[in-house]
Amino acid sequence: MNFSFLLVAALTLAGALAAMALRNLVHCVLALVVGFVGLAAIYLQLGAQFVGLAQIFVYAGAVAILAAFVILLTQGVEHRTRPAAAMDWAVGALLACGVFAVLAWAVVRGVAHLPIAAPPSNAGVHAIGDAMLHRFVLPLEVAGLLLTVALIGAVLLAMRDGEAGA
Amino acid sequence: MSLFILHLLTSIHALAASTIGHTLLMVVPVMVVFPALFAVTTLLERKGLGRIQNRYGPNRAGPWGLLQPMADGIKALTKEDVVPEAADRLVHFCAPVLMVLSAFLVYAVVPVSRTWVVAPLRAGVLFFFAAGSLMEIAVFMAGWSSRSQYSLLGAMRALAQMISYEIPLVLSAMVAVMAAGSLSMVEIVRRQAGYTGIWPHWFVLTPWGLFGFALFLIAATAESNRCPFDLPEGESEIIAGYYIEYSGFKFALFFLAEYLGMFAISALGITLFLGGWSAPFSFLAWVPTWIWFFAKLLALIAGFIWIRGTLPRLRMDQLMRFAWEFLLPMTLCNVFVAGAWKFLPAGVLRWLGCALVLLGAYWLLGRRLEQRGGLPQRNYRFAE
């Protein structure tokens, strides 16, 4: 737990907190970007270059921009300030506790089962590509199919009120 | 005098021996050379465009207008920094900073010469695109925080364009990564550094490399918002686009970042397809490698200037159709051919076969683009 880790962790947490607490939705997206970049920095510190850089490329680049796009294209949302705590306070706390319990349980069990090994020296692109296209090729394809279905569904939904028609 | 030079050399040598000194010697030239190139390029661009448009270009500051970049810099520094009353001040301030930051970051992985690369990362190409994608955030921040219709419109145009053209850009870069079997830019250049006879092993000399390079250049032109893809800042439509509300040195920073982005993406194209720092013929290999890199870079910049002076601006719907109906299928086809290239036996037949497949795809896709109306009648929903 060195100094740079603490710095990056604090940045990530600050970004995530701001994304949750700020009232202007666009500010929330920008704070979320800070959180994403912090998370990517943690991945990079762990030696996972591919995952860290993909995190920036996909999340900070594409996902955040898409979120910003949606906010700006949804008319009137930009100037509406939403309540910082929308749901009932107690329900929110209960949900948070539940999620934390599940995560903590998974982490504790996982650590107990797996020996902590030093990360392989080349835990990079080759290993990930190998795993994706050999051992986990079926889940990958299923995920791709799911995304395609979602995309087609989104296009159909957007077409419905367009004058062009399918 | 010679004693002084000797002293200087030994101190540089001592500096290079330490880690921090080594990093400094790598980083400082990047921070000096590329902005200097920016200054030179603005002058070259204005002069070149002037020649193309049958006028002189800048010719008042210094002999032949050579001091024009300096005059521009002084002007930018002394102008008042105007921030709109309604602007989101923090975001408005951060946007140009993030823009320049990401523009400089990508140079970390560019191998400028055989030994000069700041950070030889294993996933260098990915780093390049990741750092470049921060620029999109900066564009959005600039356009949104200014609270101006023009700048917001410019930012939305820029984002739609950058997202659409990022896909063909990455896919066209992918073929070089596939051929080299590595995401490291240093490794990709090393793969192209050999010679057969006097001819280099550059990827651009293969059919998929040639098509990949052409597609890459088109997507790169769009990605760096240059003419004919300069809709985000179309001067006659929305003035300066997303940075219209910036003045003085902040405007200059956007200008700088834009040109640095153009150099960086040219450097990526050089690295992926034009053999990086390697010499074009084996008998020219004695020339220092960084000279080749900058020669190729200047050649590509000249090409960009020429295109800007020649082609008119596209319309938004043409831009999108071109990206999704032509560039994307073409790059996918190119990826397929590059894969097949790896498994086919080497020879002239392989070259011709692959070239034929790509030309056929080009012909079919181009015909489709023409047939479905090169210039369809456009319905304006808001502008009537």
More confident residue, B97 or A162: B97
Picking from B122, B144, B166, the nearest residue to A49 by CB comes out as: B122
Q: How far apart are CA A41 and CA B301, in angstroms?
A: 34
Residue A113 confidence (pLDDT): 60
Quick one: pLDDT at residue A76?
Answer: 57
If interface means Cβ-Cβ distance under 8 Å, which residues of chain A face chain B?
Answer: 26-27, 30, 33, 40, 49-50, 53-54, 56-57, 60-62, 64-65, 68-69, 72, 122, 124-125
Is B302 near chain A, with CB under 8 Å?
no
Partner residue opposite A57 with nearest CB, options B91, B130, B163 = B130
* Residue B199 host element (H or E): strand B199-200
pLDDT at A165: 44
Q: Do B126 and A72 touch (CB under 8 A)?
A: no
User: CB B91 to CB A64 under 8 A?
Assistant: no
Q: Report the amino acid identity of residue B44.
A: L
Q: Who among B91, B121, B133 is closest to A30 (CB)?
A: B91
User: Torsions phi, psi of A37, nearest 5?
Assistant: -65, -40
Neighbours of B223 (CB within 10 A): 23
Contact B128/A at CB under 8 A: no
What is d(CA B162, CA B219) in angstroms, rounded to the nearest whole number? 9
Q: Verify whether the Cβ–Cβ distance A26 to B131 is below 8 Å.
A: no
CB B74 within 8 A of CB B83: no
> Does B137 contact A33 at a Cβ distance shorter than 8 Å?
yes
AA identity, residue B287: V
DSSP B200: E
Q: What local confidence, expressed as pLDDT, does residue B23 receive?
A: 77
Task: Confirm or reject contact between B134 and chain A (CB < 8 A).
Answer: yes
Give the three-state DSSP class for B381: coil
First to last CA, chain B: 74
**Preferred mutation among B93, B101, B109, B126 to probe A, highest tally of A CBs within 10 A:** B126
Nearest-angstrom CA–CA distance, B115 and B289: 9
pLDDT at A166: 40
| Comparison of pLDDT for B158 and A102, the residue scoring more | A102
Nearest to B321 by CA among B241, B363, B378, B282: B378
Question: Which amino acid is residue B355, in one-letter code?
Answer: A
CB-based contact, B254 to chain A, within 8 Å: no
Helix (H, G, I), strand (E, B) or coil at B195: strand
Q: Say whether A29 sits in a helix, a strand or coil.
A: helix
Contact B126 A54 (CB under 8 A): yes
For A2-24, the pLDDT digits (tens) are 888 888 899 999 998 888 888 77
On chain B, the residues whose CB falls within 8 A of the CB of A68 are: 140, 144, 159
Closest Cβ–Cβ partner in A27, A57, A60 for B126:
A57
Distance from the Cα of B329 to chain A's closest Cα (Å) equals 17
Nearest to B123 among A30, A68, A124 (CB): A124
pLDDT, tens only, B99-145:
999 889 888 888 888 877 888 888 888 889 888 888 888 888 888 88
CA of A64: which chain B residue's CA is closest?
Answer: B137
Among B127, B225, B104, which Cα is nearest to B173's? B127
Sign of CA dihedral B35, B36, B40, B43: positive
B144 touches A at CB < 8 Å: yes
Residue of B nearest to A78 (CA): B144
Per-residue pLDDT of chain B (384 residues; tens, 9 = 90+): 666 777 777 776 666 667 777 778 788 888 888 888 998 898 888 888 888 888 888 888 888 888 888 888 888 888 888 888 887 888 888 889 999 998 898 888 888 888 778 888 888 888 898 888 888 888 888 888 888 888 888 888 888 888 888 889 999 998 888 888 888 888 888 888 888 878 888 888 888 888 889 999 999 888 887 777 777 676 666 666 788 778 888 888 888 888 998 999 999 999 988 888 888 887 877 888 888 889 999 999 999 989 888 888 877 777 888 888 888 999 999 998 888 888 888 778 888 888 888 888 888 888 887 776 555 666 666 655
- Give the residue from A56, A128, A133 with the most B CB atoms within 10 Å of its CB, the best one to mutate: A56
Please indicate whether, in this complex, the C-beta atoms of A56 and B133 are within 8 angstroms of each other.
Answer: yes
Is residue A123 helix, strand or coil? coil
Residues contacting residue A48 through CB under 8 Å, at least 6 positions apart = A119, A123, A124
Residues of chain A with Cβ-Cβ distance to B123 below 8 Å are: 49-50, 53, 124-125
- A56 chain-B contacts, CB cut-off 8 A: 130-131, 133-134
C-alpha B354: how far from chain center: 28
3-class DSSP assignment, residue B196: strand
Mutation site for A-interface testing, chosen from B91, B140, B159 by largest number of A Cβ within 10 Å: B140
Contact call for residues B260 and B38 (beta carbons, < 8 A): yes
**Sequence-distant (≥ 6) Cβ neighbours of residue B242 within 8 angstroms:** B139, B142, B143, B146, B151, B152, B154, B155, B158, B232, B233
Distance (Å) of CA B86 to CA A77, B48, B148, B253? 18, 39, 9, 22
Q: Check if B183 contacts A (Cβ < 8 Å).
A: yes
Q: Which residues fall within 8 angstroms of residue B330, CB to CB, at 6 or more apart?
A: B168, B211, B215, B361, B362, B365
| Residue B131 at interface with chain A, using a CB cutoff of 8 Å | yes
Distances from the Cα of A35 to the Cαs of A17, A19, A40, B131, in angstroms?
A: 9, 8, 9, 16
Size of interface A-B (CB pairs under 8 A): 63
The alpha carbon of residue B274 and the mean position of all alpha carbons in its chain are separated, in whole angstroms, by 14
Measured CA to CA, the distance from residue B255 to residue B249 in angstroms comes to: 9
- A58: nearest CA in chain B? B130
Distance from CA of A56 to the nearest CA of B (A): 6
Model ipTM value: 0.76
Taken as a whole, chain A contains a residue count of 166
The answer to whether B137 contacts A53, with C-beta atoms less than 8 Å apart, is no
Backbone angles phi, psi at B109, to 5 degrees: -105, 0
Q: Which segments within B113-236 are labelled E, that is strand?
A: 195-196, 199-200
Q: Predicted confidence band at A120 (pLDDT cuts at 50, 70, 90)?
A: low
Smallest CA-to-CA distance from B12 within B249, A152, B4 is with B4
Chain A nearest-CA residue for B184: A125
pLDDT tens, B194-220?
Answer: 888 788 888 888 888 888 899 999 998
